[in-house]
Amino acid sequence: MGTIQLVSPDTESTIRIGRIIGQCLPRGSFIALEGVLGAGKTQFVKGIACGLDEGGWAGLRSPTFTLMLSYHGGRCVLHHIDFYRLNESPELPGEILEAIHSDRAIAVVEWADIWREVWPKHYIRIRFEIDEDTSKRRITIEDPNGICPAMAKDLEEFVVETADT
Please state the closest distance from residue 164 (CB atom) to ligand ADP, in A: 26
Angstrom distances, CA of residue 83 to CA of 74, 96, 101: 24, 10, 15
Pick the closer one to ligand ADP by CB: 19 or 41.
41
Q: Say how far apart CA 65 and CA 18 lie, in whole Å.
A: 22
Per-residue contact string for residues 10-49; x = within reach of Mg ion by CB under 5 A: -------------------------------xx-------
Does the footprint of Mg ion cover residue 137 (CB under 5 A)? no
Residue type, 38: G
Residue nearest to Mg ion (CB): 42
Stretch touching Mg ion by CB under 5 A, among 13-21, 48-56, 59-67, 125-133: 59-67
Please state the closest distance from residue 33 (CB atom) to ligand ADP, in A: 8
The shares of helix, strand and coil residues in the chain, as percent rounded to the nearest 5, are: 30, 30, 40
Strands (DSSP E) found in the chain: 2-8, 30-34, 68-71, 78-82, 106-110, 124-130, 137-143, 159-164
Question: Which 80-119 residues touch Mg ion, going by CB under 5 A?
Answer: 110
Q: Which residues bind Mg ion (CB under 5 A)?
A: 41-42, 62, 110
